Amino acid sequence: MDKILIIGACGQLGTELTQRLRELKGTENVIASDLRDEPIKLIADGPYEKLDIMDKDAFHAILGRYNIKQVYHLAAVLSAKGEQNPQFAWKLNMESLLLVLEAGRDRLNKIYWPSSIAVFGPDTPKENTPQNTVMSPNTVYGISKLAGERWCEYYFEKYGVDVRSLRYPGLIGYKALPGGGTTDYAVDIFHKAIAGDDYECFLSENTMLPMMYMDDAVKATIDLMETDAANVKVRSSYNLAAMSFTPKEIASEIQKHYPDFKITYKPDFRQKIADSWPGSIDDSAARNNWGWQHNFGLKELTNTMIANLKDTIVFD
């Protein structure tokens, strides 16, 4: 059994991915790490290391101590936060990936690194965006993800590093809060509705974006990592899709549960980011190459978020 290190394990995705990998691989085989001194409660059941991934020596010490053979590198500055400090976002997103890829050359069997729909830009076809198309990201986050994809393919082709990647859409889950992206509204809106509050949305009512329920994202990640290397035909990053909706559409789905729920719209700087991203994604390569299938659409997402958030909002 390969020992796994998750970098950025206390984040929105990392929390749920750590939980699922521990269920599948055994708690002791999945080492969570993040900047915090202590793990968040949801992943406090297993090994945890405080790690700033910019610290190469500390990273290698952990790889050696646990004899780590697989790394899931999730730490990044996301789209909205990245625009507030572009130099820092570039530094963290790029340098940390290169550090992990270098480790892949001599001591790792497999690496997972997520990309994003943010690799696309205003010149990209908006509907059913193809796997290979015009890419003109105009956020530092998107530029770093596109450059990261090129580095992943480079390390695979030049050095045989088995690095795998998915271009996630906006991820929505009830266990952890999002960390500074443009799609965060689709999580925030549930918290407001359940608290009985109105929601002021920072995107306009008809902004269509691709989204995914967290269980599907975790399933896709593990499916991709578990499939035979021969099935992984895209070594930059796979398009991945489940559903697309607008703020108006998700609000009206929520109103089926909370008829008095009200949404208003006050677009801010994130509107321009959202406008540069696709409305829907063609993920047929993932479906054909390694059998990707999603389980959650807008209705299932809404039912599940409301049912679980009502009882289990966990703030740490």
Catalytic residues, by residue number, are: 141
Rule CB under 6 A: say whether 78 interacts with ligand AKB: yes
User: Residue 79 binds which one of ligand AKB, ligand NAD, none, with CB within 5 to 8 A depending on kind?
Assistant: ligand AKB
Neighbours of 250 (CB within 10 A): 25
Residues 116-145 that bind ligand NAD (CB under 6 A): 116
Rule CB under 6 A: say whether 276 interacts with ligand AKB: no
Say if strands 199-201 and 263-265 run parallel, antiparallel, or are unpaired.
Answer: parallel
Which residue lies nearest ligand AKB, judged by its C-beta? 181
How many angstroms separate the CA atoms of 151 and 101, rounded? 8
Q: Which of 183, 207, 237, 244 binds ligand NAD (CB under 6 A)?
A: 183
- Using the contact rule CB under 6 A, the part of the chain among 5-13, 155-163, 235-243, 274-282 near ligand NAD is 5-13
CB of 296 to ligand AKB, least distance (A): 16
- Binding to ligand NAD by CB under 6 A, coded x per residue (else -) over 49-88, reads --xxxx-------------------xxx-x----------
Size, binding site for ligand NAD by CB under 6 A:
28
- Could you give the C-alpha distances from 302 to 180, 251, 274, 280, 313, in angstroms and in order? 21, 10, 21, 19, 15
Amino acid letter, residue 199: Y
How many angstroms separate the CA atoms of 112 and 251, rounded? 34
- Using the contact rule CB under 6 A, the part of the chain among 56-64, 173-181, 199-207, 287-295 near ligand NAD is 173-181
Residues 176-205 that bind ligand AKB (CB under 6 A): 181-183
CB of 141 to ligand AKB, least distance (A): 6
Of 122, 113, 174, 170, give the one whose Cα is nearest residue 145.
113
How many angstroms separate the CA atoms of 260 and 92, rounded? 43
Rule CB under 6 A: say whether 179 interacts with ligand NAD: yes
Over the Cα atoms of the chain, what is R_g?
19
Rule CB under 6 A: say whether 247 interacts with ligand AKB: no
CB of 226 to ligand AKB, least distance (A): 23
Rule CB under 6 A: say whether 170 interacts with ligand AKB: yes
Residues 101-160 that bind ligand AKB (CB under 6 A): 116-118, 141
Q: Which two tokens stand for residue 28?
A: 């002791």
Q: Which lies closer to ligand NAD via its Cβ, residue 114 or residue 247?
A: 114
Q: Which lies closer to ligand AKB via its Cβ, residue 78 or residue 243?
A: 78
CB of 262 to ligand NAD, least distance (A): 25
Q: Which lies closer to ligand NAD via its Cβ, residue 98 or residue 160?
A: 98
Residues 82-101 that bind ligand NAD (CB under 6 A): 92
Q: Which of 4, 5, 6, 10 binds ligand NAD (CB under 6 A)?
A: 10
Q: Which of 181, 210, 278, 279 binds ligand NAD (CB under 6 A)?
A: 181
Interface with ligand NAD (CB under 6 A): 7-8, 10-14, 34-35, 51-54, 74-76, 78, 92, 114, 116, 168, 170-171, 178-181, 183
